[in-house]
Amino acid sequence: MQKRSPNHSQGVDVSHWQGDINWQKVADAGKRFVFIKATEGEGWTDPKWKDHALGASKAGLSIGFYHFARFKNRAEAVREARHFVQTIDAMPSALPHVLDLEVTNGLSKVELSELALFFLENVKKWTDHEVMLYTNANMAANHLTSILQHVPLWIAHYGTDQPRPNKIWKKWRVFQYSNRGRVPGIRGFVDLDEMVPEVSDEPHTYTIQAGDTFWDLERKNGWAHGTLQKLNPLVNPRRLQIGQSIRIP
């Protein structure tokens, strides 16, 4: 798996444990994206998810949401997927919808992998939105199978600049490299993440419309977070002008 790189975007992931956050300070500190815990199991909803989403979006960060898995069978996986989708449905997100898979619940690697894929397929079908799997290096190496190899990976492994390899994925999309980060605007520790930008080779021009935000531009054009600003650094996400045309070479 690839190492960390200065060319990657930097971000965080949060839940209600971080409390109130000054998202403008987070953005000013160079963080460009955030994954927000939305739901867990069949009925629990993070009480801060919407506040985090609105605040981060207003500050110009790309946002995404994740669900913490508790399912042990297909019926539970369906109910959890429905709970996740219904919770976040009204909130646009530029980043993939994520399944957070950290516990086996006594399932075999085959059973767990099949249920994870089943959950993600349902979320993708119901939302028509990209999905991604979050797990840690130990789970990836010992508790999952290659049935998940085509699902983009968000991997957690702390204290290293290169995650431990596994037999399923050759590369990661997002790397959670610390769970004890310090970021202005956030009290206490926070998870730190790095994301690989996906840059289109095709030239593209987009004219900014009324109401567009920075993440709107990326979402509408299929760009991963950081693509626009990386290729056109003159674009300030908080100073978009209606009618301004942006060409990505």
Q: Which residues form the catalytic set?
A: 13, 102
| Structure tokens, 201 | 């080779």
Judged on CB neighbours under 10 Å (0-12, 13-18, 19+), 151 is buried
Q: How far apart are CA 15 and CA 37, in angstroms?
A: 5
3-state SS class at 80: helix
Q: Which of 118, 133, 52 is nearest to 88 (CA)?
A: 52
Interacting residues of 19 by C-beta distance below 8 A, sequence separation 6+: 48, 187, 188
User: At residue 130, what is the residue type?
Assistant: E
What length is written for the chain? Answer: 249
**Cα 101 to the center of its chain, rounded Å:** 14
| H or E element that contains 44 | strand 44-45
Whole-number Å distance between alpha carbons of 129 and 224: 13
Integer Cα distance of 88 and 64 in angstroms? 10
